[in-house]
Amino acid sequence: MSEGLIVREANLSDAPALHDFFEKLFAEPLDTLGVRDRPPPIQEEIELISKMVAEKNSCLLLAFKDRTLAGTLDLQGCPHPQKQHSAGLRMSVGDRFRDQGIGFALLEAAIRFAQSNQLLTRIELEVFQNNEAAIHLYRKAQFRVEGTKREAVQINGKFIGVLSMALLLSEFRKDQPSA
């Protein structure tokens, strides 16, 4: 893990830092799946943290680099009984913290959480087909492509495909070397 990096689960006192993090992230010219005009208000951050802490198959992880919030990962477990074994993953890393191992550290922590959780057997995500850095990172963490949604989104008049990726914990190998 990168020096000065701490990854931990969020608590209610993290709401202001989350708000500031997303305010900076939303100011970046990024083409992301979760397009919003503004960051969520602090009250929404508090509600999200409370919800994630309360759900047995969910967690909200934060990565701090030298005490600054550098990245977030939420693992949202499905509430339906037939799909409680599955959790959706969303991750964001601040621009000045990219390419420093923070995304991989967040993924490792999410996988550890899922492995220790009696409900979870599957982590799934969606990523833009043109986001090569993210796809490389997810493959490094042993996620596999399960399908492609062709022309799934339109940004600035251009259609972009979305890859569906997943990691089955039964197939995860701790001893597999990192790419």
Report how far residue 20's alpha carbon sits from residue 94's, in angstroms, rounded to the nearest whole number.
11
Structure-block tokens of residue 53: 């802490």
Report how far residue 118's alpha carbon sits from residue 129's, in angstroms, rounded to the nearest whole number.
32
On average, the pLDDT of the chain sits at 90
Q: Which amino acid is at 125?
A: L
Report how far residue 23's alpha carbon sits from residue 28's, in angstroms, rounded to the nearest whole number.
9
Q: What is the pTM of this model?
A: 0.91
Sequence-distant (6+) residues with CB within 8 A of 134 are 103, 127, 128
pLDDT tens for 109-168 read: 999 999 999 999 999 999 999 999 999 999 999 999 999 999 999 888 889 999 999 999
Q: Which amino acid is at 146?
A: E
Structure-block tokens of residue 118: 């009696």
pLDDT tens for 29-49 read: 776 655 666 777 888 889 989
pLDDT tens for 1-20 read: 567 899 999 999 999 999 99
| Percentage of residues in the chain having pLDDT higher than 70 | 92
- Nearest-5° Cα angle at 93, 70 to 173: 105
Checking if the pLDDT of 179 tops 50, the result is no
Termini Cα distance of the chain: 15
Report how far residue 164's alpha carbon sits from residue 162's, in angstroms, rounded to the nearest whole number.
7
Give me the CATH code for the 5-171 domain, please.
3.40.630.30
